[in-house]
Amino acid sequence: MFKHLRIIIAQMLPSQHFKHSLIGSNLNISKMNIKLWYCEGMKQWRWTLTDSSRPIRKQESGQQPFLRDAMNDVANTVEYMLECKQSE
């Protein structure tokens, strides 16, 4: 199934000086781990995103046949998670 597994790992690290602007307001970036890999057997780019800064760890995942679509899903999910965090 995961014959030729390629994994890309990215982290958004918290910093006192690094802020992200979202919908006109500043938010502190939390620690998010993003894992992205291509599954040859399924012919899908698969991803997971984990936010471990919350009291209860939150994880989202998805898959798309095209890399650009998978990356857009990841970006949309990060923005959604930040919006949810802002409203908490």
- Asked if the structure places residue 78 within a domain, the reply is yes
Among residues 65, 48, 68, which one has the least CA distance to residue 8? 48
Asked whether the beta carbons of 37 and 1 are under 8 A apart, the reply is no
- List Cβ neighbours of 64 (8 Å cut-off, separation of 6 or more): 44, 45, 70, 73
- Asked if the structure places residue 31 within a domain, the reply is yes
- Asked if the structure places residue 1 within a domain, the reply is no
Q: Match 């095209």 to its residue by tokens.
A: 66
- What's the pLDDT at 1? 44
Q: Match 């890999």 to its residue by tokens.
A: 37
Number of domains observed in the structure of the chain: 1
- What's the pLDDT at 77? 94
Local confidence band at 14 (pLDDT 50, 70, 90 cut-offs): very low
**Tens digits of residue pLDDT in 27-86:** 555 688 999 999 999 999 999 999 988 778 899 999 999 999 999 999 999 999 888 877
- Asked if the structure places residue 57 within a domain, the reply is yes
Separation between Cα atoms, residue 17 and residue 3, nearest integer Å: 42
Model pTM greater than 0.75? no
Give the structural domain span for 58: 6-87
- Asked if the structure places residue 18 within a domain, the reply is yes
